[in-house]
Chains A and B, each alone.
Chain A
Amino acid sequence: MQTAIMIVANYPLYIRSVPTQGELKFHYTVHTSLDVVEEKISGVGKALADQRELYLGLLYPTEDYKVYGYMTNSKVKFVIVVDSSNTSLRDNEIRSMFRKLHNSFTDVMCNPFYNPGDPIQSKAFDSIVSTMMVQAF
């Protein structure tokens, strides 16, 4: 089953997809999903932005995938792409996956040797993502 997890700050910070051969397609999918993210956050008023729900929900439907979005307060977007035939993952599961990712991402950001904006190269983060992908898919 095809899945991908991406961390994006308008440009990719971290990409992991299974299987790897169709990666380019995932990249395009995630890239185009940013349109929806942008539209979603522009719709939210300034005052509400503070209490904004970080989880953006299902971004857009395609025949083959479901694309879910999440945005941190620092405007870094997390995108999870799952095969649309995967019915075991419901909204709640996706939500908790995002929360886990966010926690791990925060740890990465706290690393004084990590330069915000650089691609993420962290073993800890890698392993979290790996276990998540094994568990979930």
Chain B
Amino acid sequence: MSPAQWDLPPELCCRPVAFVALTGLDVVYNAIHRAIWDAFCANRRADRVPISFKVLPGDNEYPKCRTKRTSYEWYIPKGILKTGWMNKHLNLVPALVVLFYELDWDDPQWKEKQSECATKVEIVRTSLQGRNTKVAVVLIQKKTPLPPGEDLVASERASALCGACDLSGKSLFVLPHTDHLVGYIIRSDFLFLNKHQFKMGFFSELKQDTQNALKYYRTAYSLVHELRAHETNMLEIKTMAGFINYKICRLCFQHNTPLDAIAQFRKHIDLCKKKIGSAELAFEHTAWMSKQFQSFGDLFDEAIKLGLTAIQTQNPGFYYQQAAYYAQERKQQVGQLCSHEPGVGYPAPDPLETTSGALDFYGQRPWRQGHQSIDPPDSEKEKQGILALQVKERDIPHSELIIALLSNAVAQFKKYKCPRMKSHLMVQMGEEYYHAKDYTKALKLLDYVMCDYRTERWWSLLTSILCTALKCSYLMGQVKDYITYSMELVGRASILPEEQKSRIEKNLIKVLMNEVPEPEPDCDPLSVKTAQSLWSDRISLAGSNEFTIEVQDYVPFVQCKAKFLSPSFHIDEPVQLHVYVRADCPHPVRFSKLCVSLSNQEYNQYCLLEDASKGKDILEPSTQENMCLVPGKTRKYCFKFVAKTEDVGKKIEITSVGLMLGRETARYVYLNWRGGWGDAASSHETLQACRSFKKRTRFPEQQVDWDTVTIQSSTMIISRVPKISVQLTHEPPALTNEMYCMIVTIQSGEDTVAKDIKLTAGLKPGQDANLTQSTQITLNGTEVCDDSHPALLPDIPLGDLHPGQKPLYIHCVSTGSRILLFHVAYSVSATVEGKDITCKCHKDETVTLETVVPYEVAMKFVSSKFEHLERVYVDIPFLLMMDILSASPWPIELVNSEVQLASSMNAIDQPQSQVEGVTLQTSECASECFLLKCPPVQNGTTFAGDHANIVIIVVIILAVNRHLPSYVLELPSFGRVRESLPVRYHLENRTGLVQDVEITVEPSDAFMFSGLKQVRMRILPGAEQEMLYNFYPLMAGYQVLPQLNINLLRFPNISNQLLRRFLPSRIFVKPQGRNGDTSIEAA
């Protein structure tokens, strides 16, 4: 029996289609016939009915039709389904034979041709021998036929032909050989189909009416199980049940009822699971079971490809997986049942040989075909047969089958988001490869999934995988893998019993000594032999005896933690580093080297512990005992070194810690902890340890609790603590624009000379940008700073330290607080650990300086009457009042003040400072006053004043009205009751326009007056008009003058109020003198 015995026959798996035979076509030599054939076969798209066509010669031998029984009485069935049956109906017996014949209706030799055609039909009929196959005739005509009914000759001859051939009119077709060949052919397809519908029984129904077919199959399925099953026909029943089940499931999927398919399959499996059959051939059952699952998986997968959606818990993967399990079971059974003694060979007359070379019925034994009784007819033959089957089974590559199924399942589970299931199956694949002795592939697979289990912390599973991987690496003589897996198996992640660990550790030590390790248990003895020779080769092989294992990917049996004692070290103290190492293997191990790599590799030499040379930088006295790791105990190794002065301000990091196991003379392995600690399991352990509420047990001296060791994998080298003092002497607050003096006093407390002292002073960087612009620093206090001076004076060299002072001037242009920085840097030599180093030290001193305004200057314009002015007018004198209010906490002396007038402004008298030499105490005020006049100008006026050594510029924009006439009033300084008071108004038009003016004088209670009460006049540009009034005061005191209203008729918008501003509104009226009146007048 071939290994494909369990495969479903191909004719079962394909979708059955009707078979139509075409005869009378000469496709090789006749181009027209070829075109017809191509049109039938080529480009069969989905829109055409699925039919398989074949060209056969007219006298083709069709399978013989046996005489049908009229009843099942006395019928002893030899089997259920003959092996050839399906193929026969798919490929041998056509449902329809189509005879092609070239004949035109108006053929001259019509009679002869007609009889020839009839003969051909007859030949086909005979060769079919009464099978229920339809025959059709197609006439290939060169002329396009006339529409039916019009060609009388054609219809007459057609019926004649039908009669001659014994055909019904429906079975005669005319195929005109014209352009529309394909169209005709498609039409004729359907016609053929309609005619063979009744044929094919079971099979055509499958094609046409799958629902009905399903019903038939279901019945067939239940019937199969109703058959009396016994050992001899068990296989046949199962085979048939499998076939029918396959068909049912296939149809269910086709009908898009996957749940029905799954239910049917489950039922099928439940029914057949226990039907093992012959115990000696139990593997046949498992093979069959495996096949059932596999083919269901295939069907399921196919359905998914056609659009079915599967879910995580119901996908083809499960079926492939189960198939693989059965395949594994089959393999195990083979191991038990087929382990014949070597002498037992294949039986001599092959009991599996049959006369035809194939079986007549599916699922029968070759040596008793057609036999239906319960007991085997020939027990000797039976034995031979079973033996033959067992021997055959032995040769089947089970592992290959299992792996193929598993990899199918892996592909499915990958699709349905089952990473763990996928890993599990890959482990199984790896194990199967291991059994199949393909160790390379096994190792590859196991190594791939190992890290998943490691990160998920499933130690039980990891241990089991590691054990297989260790065996593989042993059998292949892979030294590095062997070491890696051993280390992990010995370590804390492994759940192996202590004696196993001990065995593996001993082997590991052997490998490190460059010796051959003991073989792993339960290995194939043949492979062990090969492995041993491989290992001996390794011994003699020079080189490649150095291995580095990156620990973070594994959980080895040595743990390491490295830490700096402090997050920062001053340059003048030694950097200290502790390395804690712990082993959790059953036996103590000795290592030969411990080295720490730091980010600055120059220090590495100080952090090295070696077997041969006892490093002098190691603090603890190192003995041989020191290099031995006792299980469960934490060892501490201390290193220290002096940092280089260049590294001040830099970070030193532990890049890795390396631990060398083995010897350089033999074989050695470096365990490399990147960052100085941590393997694949440590982060979780650290987390658990810090969560733990467990009472920390007190450890004796020199013993450390592993969990309490914290990690400090980097440290800063910082500069030496300066032993100098920086004092600042000054008197805040500073005044704006003042050259503010600060005295910096540096005092050294160093033991040696402080050299190269440099002072950087000024505004602390990183403050408001405006402060940078408004602060200037200089060492020269005699002159006022300007913008060219910087805000920060860097590196003022002071040379070697002489105790002294340095005055510094700060010029703050704006108010507010600012932080000033005084940075003193110097170098000093120091001795650390017997090494002389030059340390650079620096000290920073900052001070916050408040700047205030020294005085405030307020200015206002007033009229000559000291009235507040909002605007000044051309040619009318006004006063500039200046108030200087001291805000300084100190008395300030005003050195000078000056009014700088713009060219458009004239001083009426010489503007001299009136406050020169005045000293103002806090909040005292000094005032001065200047008389100014504005000549006719275009626009604004600028005033400037200068006080002490501070300059302040005030710009005031004044609007000057240009188009108004101006008025001058001549008025005595006082009047007297009942004495006439002559008043003259001068009106001058200074504008370039003629002005129409209306003047009215309003009466007043205090005065009587004479003159024009209301007048209208015209004043030419530049002309002057005089108005004379005689007022007669009636009351004494400050009296309101009769009000003069002036209306500019051309400028009605000009307010009367505005014009009146220039006119005095009141006058002081003295009371009338009585006695000595004249004396007063005289005075």
Contact = CB atoms under 8 A, between A and B. Distances in A.
A105 B898 CA distance: 94
Given A63-B325, A117-B691, A11 B456 contact: yes
Contact of B312 (A23, A39, A62, A117): A39
A19 interface: no
B420 interface: yes
Given A112-B693, A113-B694, A115-B694, A32 B421 contact: yes
Nearest to B418: A35
Contacts of B1043: none
A59 B313 contact: yes
B599 interface: no
Contact of A115 (B325, B461, B464, B688): B688
Interface in A29-56: 31-32, 34-36, 39
Interface string B462-475: 00100000000000
Contacts of A15: 460
A31 B424 contact: yes
A23 B459 CA distance: 13
A116 B691 contact: yes
Contact of A31 (B458, B684, B693): B458
Contacts of A12: 458, 460
Given A10-B456, A63-B322, A27 B461 contact: yes
B547 to A, nearest CB: 29
Interface string A63-105: 1000000000000000000000000000000000000000000
A59 B457 CA distance: 22
A44 to B, nearest CB: 14
Given A28-B424, A112-B693, A115-B688, A60 B313 contact: yes
Contacts of B693: 112-113, 115
Contacts of B313: 36, 59-61
Interface string A1-37: 0000000001110010000000110011001101110
Contacts of A60: 312-313, 318
A36 B421 CA distance: 10
Contact of B461 (A28, A59, A117): A28
B534 to A, nearest CB: 29
17 contacts: A11-B456, A11-B458, A12-B458, A12-B460, A23-B460, A28-B461, A31-B420, A31-B461, A34-B420, A35-B418, A35-B420, A60-B313, A61-B318, A112-B693, A115-B691, A117-B684, A117-B687
B567 interface: no
B272 to A, nearest CB: 13
Interface string A102-125: 000000000011011110000000
Contacts of B453: 31
Sort chain A's interface into a size bin. 20 to 34
B806 interface: no
A23 B694 CA distance: 31
A62 B266 CA distance: 11
A39 B315 CA distance: 14
B871 to A, nearest CB: 73
Contact of A35 (B318, B419, B688): B419
Interface string B404-431: 0000000000000111110010010000
Contacts of A23: 460
Contacts of B692: 115, 118
A41 B70 CA distance: 65
B417 A35 contact: yes
Contacts of A118: 688, 692
Contacts of A31: 420, 424, 453, 456, 458, 461
B44 to A, nearest CB: 42
Interface in B306-330: 312-313, 318, 322, 325
A38 to B, nearest CB: 8
Given A12-B458, A27-B460, A27-B461, A36 B424 contact: no
Sort chain B's interface into a size bin. 20 to 34
Interface of B: 312-313, 318, 322, 325, 417-421, 424, 427, 453, 456-458, 460-461, 464, 684, 687-688, 691-694
A10 B312 CA distance: 19
Nearest to A33: B420
A60 B464 CA distance: 24
Count chain B CB atoms within 10 A of each CB in A23, A24, A115 and give the residue with the most. A115
Nearest to B453: A31
B904 to A, nearest CB: 78
B449 to A, nearest CB: 11
A15 B495 CA distance: 14
Contact of A24 (B418, B421, B457, B461): B461
Contacts of B325: 63
A99 B461 CA distance: 28
A68 to B, nearest CB: 13
Nearest to B311: A39
Contacts of B424: 28, 31-32
A36 B460 CA distance: 21
Closest 7 CB pairs of A and B: A11-B457, A35-B418, A32-B421, A115-B692, A60-B313, A32-B420, A35-B420
A35 B313 CA distance: 10
Contacts of A24: 460-461, 464
A29 to B, nearest CB: 9
Contacts of B420: 31-32, 34-35
A45 to B, nearest CB: 18
Given A35-B312, A113-B694, A117-B691, A27 B418 contact: no
B963 to A, nearest CB: 80
A62 B322 CA distance: 8
A40 to B, nearest CB: 9
A32 B417 CA distance: 11
Nearest to B425: A32
B694 to A, nearest CB: 7
A118 B691 CA distance: 10
A34 B458 CA distance: 12
A15 B460 CA distance: 11
A77 to B, nearest CB: 12
Given A35-B417, A36-B418, 4 more contacts: A23-B460, A27-B461, A32-B421, A117-B691
A34 B424 CA distance: 12
Nearest to A112: B693
A59 B456 CA distance: 20
Contacts of A112: 693
A99 B1025 CA distance: 118
Contacts of A116: 691
A38 B461 CA distance: 20
Contacts of A11: 456-458
A118 B693 CA distance: 12
Nearest to B428: A28
Given A115-B692, A115-B693, A35 B460 contact: no
B124 to A, nearest CB: 54
A52 to B, nearest CB: 18
Given A11-B456, A113-B694, A117-B687, A32 B418 contact: yes
Nearest to B692: A115
Nearest to A43: B312
A11 B457 CA distance: 5
A39 B417 CA distance: 8
Contacts of B461: 24, 27-28, 31
Contacts of B460: 12, 15, 23-24, 27
A61 B848 CA distance: 77
A11 B322 CA distance: 26
Nearest to A116: B691
B458 to A, nearest CB: 6
Nearest to B417: A39
A118 B457 CA distance: 12
A28 B828 CA distance: 68
A24 B468 CA distance: 14
A15 B417 CA distance: 25
Nearest to B687: A117
Contacts of B318: 60-62
